[in-house]
Amino acid sequence: MKLEVITYPDKRLKQVSAEVTRFDAQLHEFLDAMYATMLHANGIGLAAIQVANPINALIINLPDENDEQSRANLLEIINPEIIASSGHQLYQEGCLSVPGFYEDIERFETVTLSYCNRYGESCQLQADGLLSVAIQHEMDHLLGKLFIEKLSYARRKKFEKEYKKAQKAKKVS
């Protein structure tokens, strides 16, 4: 099943997500629907809030060396917490909830994460590079934050103007 990805400036994206307490069939069905939705939209990461479900769940599926995404590489991350971080990196980010806009954002280079998998089992993961960026980007969604909130004042103003113009053009076409 495919779900609707909600887009900026939808206020639901500002909600703070709640802890997941039930690791049951309903959660598994929802995670499967998130994956189908993300692949259909050509995404590599998606937080539950982006499909209007404010729970602490996110998925990440980075392409492999052949530029292909597969379920074998799917990370399902529930109730995540960053327990260590170090360094800094700049990466050009995009978001399915902010279509058509990409910008360099500063993030930690390396993060260590504790989280649960879909069965409620405790897991730990250390990530750097693109995976680290994706984790930090998706975890911001769980706090109701979008990457555009990290832009400078001038860049944000320019974004708002360009985004509104693009939205208007989409409506008439």
Catalytic residue among 29, 81, 138, 160: 138
Q: How far apart are CA 13 and CA 123, in angstroms?
A: 27
Nearest to ligand Y12 of 89, 120 (CB atom): 89
Nearer to ligand Y12, 118 or 137 (CB): 137
Site for Co ion contains 95 (CB under 5 A): yes
The CA distance from 115 to 125, in Å, is: 8
Q: DSSP letters of 76-128?
A: EEEEEEEEEEE--EEEEE--TTSTT--EEEEE-SEEEEEEE-TT--EEEEEEE
Question: Is position 4 annotated as part of the catalytic site?
Answer: no
Q: Does 80 help bind ligand Y12 (rule: CB under 6 A)?
A: no
Contact between residue 105 and residue 61 where contact means Cβ atoms under 8 Å apart = no
Q: Which is nearer to ligand Y12, 119 or 145 (CB)?
A: 145
**Residue 45 binds ligand Y12 (CB under 6 A):** yes
The residue at minimum Cβ distance from Co ion is: 95
Is residue 120 close enough to count as binding ligand Y12 by CB under 6 A? no
Kindly state whether residue 48 participates in binding ligand Y12, applying the rule CB under 6 A: no
Residues of this chain that interact with Co ion (CB under 5 A) are: 95
Residues of this chain that interact with ligand Y12 (CB under 6 A) are: 42-45, 91, 93-96, 99-100, 130, 133-134, 137
